[in-house]
Amino acid sequence: MPEINLLRTDTIAVGSVCNITETLAARANQNQPTLSFEFFPPKDEVGEANLWAAFDKLAEVKPDFVSVTYGAGGSNRERSLAIVDRMAKDVMTIGHLTCVGSTRTGTSKIIKHFEDAGVAAILALRGDSPKDDPDALEKGELKTALELVQLAHEVTSLEVGVAAFPEVHPESAHMQHDAMVLALKQQAGASFAMTQLFFTVEAYTDLIEASSAAGADMPIIPGVMPIANAKQVIRMAAMSGAHIPPKLMQQLEDADEVTARKIGMDYITQLSLDLIKVGAPGLHIFSLNQSVAALELARGVGLCR
């Protein structure tokens, strides 16, 4: 494995890339991981102000790309699309797209919106039914993320990415099944994947090994979350099914808020460094629409000035 250069250059040559996989390849040629951040659509004006303040600060370190999430069943759709529209003018942007409860026609219109906005790629996700419509999945024409990938490949030339699950999808029997599905998504037109939340390097390497054995060789970018607010991260991990190592969990629960933040940030920084050492093509930092911890993590692994 070539030595990784963590003295990351600010930009890739203008005109040398136009999508996510080309960006990953360009950074790999420099022996550098990519740096990217995830944002979510806020619920109100205060949240929106926080989002753009965080975006402006994170944009200063010149991330290779960003992504914007999309609510269950299309909730927060208009806010999500408005954020994508604005971000895509300044940085390579991935628009998340869920299909639960959706029609082929309606989904195609959203994909056209992404095209018009100038997004770099779509992250094709099934999504979960919203709380106020628990049967949305059964009502929609599109039932799986694989069907969404197939539709996107039919109606657009935009690059399509998908989700990957280091600790197995909640509805999956085992990792081998997830890996097979990932391979099918690649065959249907997906060209990269981004992982859900996880906390051990073994979870990532197991995913890579299983995916490779199933025939999925597209880049898989690990998603990492700064542990700045330990209680919040513990709660999110429980909701997503992500396993926090018992020793770390105990340390976080026993410590006061300030000490827990230091323990958590030290842990996630080392995990990120370890992920890069085992060959992760980049780091996708879940910003939670906050800049301080996201910047601390990015700087801690040497991916920004």
Domains and CATH numbers, the chain: 20-300 (3.20.20.220)
Please answer whether residues 201 and 278 qualify as being in contact, where contact means their C-beta atoms are separated by less than 8 angstroms. Answer: yes
| Residue 256's pLDDT band (cuts 50, 70, 90) | very high
Which candidate in 3, 22, 38, 45 is catalytic? 38
pTM of this structure? 0.92
Q: pLDDT-based confidence at 1, cuts 50/70/90? A: very low
Q: 223 Cβ partners below 8 Å, 6+ apart?
A: 38, 194, 195, 196, 197, 198, 284, 285, 286
Residue 38 falls in the annotated catalytic set: yes
Q: Comparing C-alpha atoms, which of 56, 62, 63, 3 is closest to residue 28? A: 3
CA 60 to chain CA mean position, Å: 20
Range in 2-6, 88-92, 171-175, 246-250 with the lowest mean pLDDT: 2-6
Give the pLDDT confidence score for residue 162 in this predicted structure: 97
Across-strand partners of 220?
Answer: 193
Region 40-49: what's the mean pLDDT?
92
Give the residue-averaged pLDDT of 204-223. Answer: 97
Using DSSP's 3-state secondary structure scheme, residue 285 falls into strand
Task: Report the SS3 class of residue 37.
Answer: strand
Q: In this predicted structure, what is the pLDDT of residue 230? A: 96
Q: Which of 22-26, 121-125, 140-144 shows the lowest per-residue confidence on average (mean pLDDT)?
A: 140-144
Q: How confident is the model at residue 49 (pLDDT cuts 50, 70, 90)?
A: very high
Asked if 99 contacts 126 with a C-beta cutoff of 8 angstroms, the reply is: yes
| Distance from C-alpha of 77 to C-alpha of 69, rounded to nearest angstrom | 10
Q: In this predicted structure, what is the pLDDT of residue 149?
A: 95
The pLDDT confidence band at residue 14, using thresholds 50, 70 and 90, is very low
Q: Rounded CA gap, 8 and 132, in Å?
A: 45
Q: Is the pLDDT of residue 135 over 70?
A: no
The string of pLDDT tens digits covering residues 228-239 is 999 999 999 998
Instruction: Kindly report which listed range (119-133, 211-225, 274-288) carries the lowest average pLDDT score.
Output: 119-133
Rg for the chain, CA atoms, rounded: 18
Q: What percent of the chain is modeled with pLDDT above 70?
A: 86
What value does the mean pLDDT of the chain take?
89
Q: 3-state DSSP call for residue 141?
A: coil
Read off the DSSP letter of residue 115: H
Sequential DSSP letters for 174-237: -HHHHHHHHHHHHHHT--EEEE-----HHHHHHHHHHHHHHT--S-EEPEE---SSHHHHHHHH
